[in-house]
Structure 1
Amino acid sequence: DVKDVLTAIDHVVNKGYADPSKIFVLGGSHGGFLTSHLIGQ
């Protein structure tokens, strides 16, 4: 799951859809668990 999210982030940044300095993560339940893993990357 972490790899999928990181790949999606890279994709939207490379396409110019997102500013990498303004990306944040938020999640509840499994999303909260995933959020803690993403922050650790």
Structure 2
Amino acid sequence: MRGQEIRRVKGEKVKGCNQFLCISMCLLYLCTKVLKQIK
């Protein structure tokens, strides 16, 4: 029981990190796209 709870919390943390990474990658992609259009 205890091990499962810890694993679940770790999974949620990883999911949050992945979401954050995905958002920053999307922003980076959009920024480069806009910069290329300006040039």
TM-score, L = length of structure 2: 0.41
Greater helix proportion = 2
* Higher RCO structure, 1 or 2 (CA under 8 Å, sep 6+): 1
